[in-house]
Amino acid sequence: MNKSKVYIHKINQAVPDQSYTQEFALNYQLDLICDTPKKKMLLQKIYRDTGIAKRHTVIEDYGKDPQEHTFYPKNAKLEPEPTTAERNDVYIKEADKLVIEAVDGLLKKLAPGVKDKITHIITVSCTGFSAPGFDFTIMKHFGLDKSVDKLHIGFMGCYGAFPAMRTAFSFCRSDENAKVLVVNLELCSIHYQKKFDIDTIIANAIFADGAAAYLISSDPADSDGSKITMGTFSSTYAEGSENDMAWKIGQNGFNMKPSAYVPKIINANIKEVFDNTLKKSGTNPGEIRLWAIHPGGKAILEKTADSLGLTKENLKHSYDVLRDYGNMSSSTIMFVLNAMMNDTGKGKIFAAGFGPGLTIESAVLEVE
């Protein structure tokens, strides 16, 4: 088995052109779903505590005259709400456009000729279905060899990038010539629903759209500049938390359940995860210089910091991504790692992501 280093090369991120501020989203919601002062107070607290300034969406209707709507019905109440089938049609169309942008930008950052040597494509998404999927779109649009192996990782939620990285790492360890293109694509905003319950409100307040494309290989010549060396991966789950982060397919989109208890569950478990992952990798805690924590929300970052004895500055990259993009599910951690690669800091990274189960994925990586 090949024992050479395996690298995450350039990461290229892409977001839809449409964006809105969190203040706009709050005011839009206040008018749309709040019919009592109590509801308005609750909504204001949730939205203003997110740590989010702006989010991107593939939906162009917000702020427009209802007669100009192209996704929602042409009325101010947005009723009847789009069906799951209608939402998924938007997913298929917009996913293709965003992944082409993400992959095109990535290929321009890589060394000449790398595109023609790609051996695998791993795609990651939990916000829609299509078959053939956007992996096929990538193959056709960029003229990749028909023999490229394809693998889709679906419905793992916000931690989906970790099994994708781990799988690509395994491919490269078993074949030193493997070059794995990985693409995370999430269009969370198509599942907005008007229900006034706490789980739906939280989901509406934090989720957004984005894609990340990156190459994983054992050849340092595939890109210039900073790289992330891949190391140890670990996976576990918090006992008794199956109902605190979950979703199912409903008639009007995916019914998401990011429970308000999730930050407390992470707080109770992340120190043990950190200790076990570092022990598995043979890394001393003092060697960790960078912290890539999935910014699922401000409270998650705060509870992680409390448990691991970190400052807000330690989690700067996670806070910055949360502020500028919101929670883009599986794509989000790659935006955080991209920010680290583009920064001047070097050193070992402790990375962690959280998702349904409540599953906690972690890794020890290193920016070189």
Average pLDDT for 39-50: 95
Question: Can you spell out the DSSP letters for 159-205?
Answer: GTHHHHHHHHHHHHHH-TT-EEEEEEEEEGGGG-----SHHHHHHHH
- Strands 149-154 and 228-237 come out as unpaired
DSSP, res 218: S
| Amino acid identity, position 247 | W
pLDDT band of 1, cuts 50, 70, 90 = very low
| Amino acid identity, position 195 | K
DSSP, res 225: S
Least confident of 173-177, 244-248, 277-281: 244-248
Residues 6+ apart with CB under 8 A from 284: 278
pLDDT at 246: 62
CA distance 209 to 332: 9
Q: Are 47 and 25 in contact (CB under 8 A)?
A: yes
Give the rounded distance of the alpha carbon of 256 from its chain centre. 15
142-180 residue pLDDT tens: 999 999 999 999 989 999 999 999 999 999 999 999 999
DSSP, res 207: B
pTM over 0.85: yes
% of the chain exceeding 90 in pLDDT: 86
pLDDT at 20: 97
- Strands 149-154 and 179-187 come out as unpaired
Least confident of 89-93, 186-190, 220-224, 261-265: 261-265
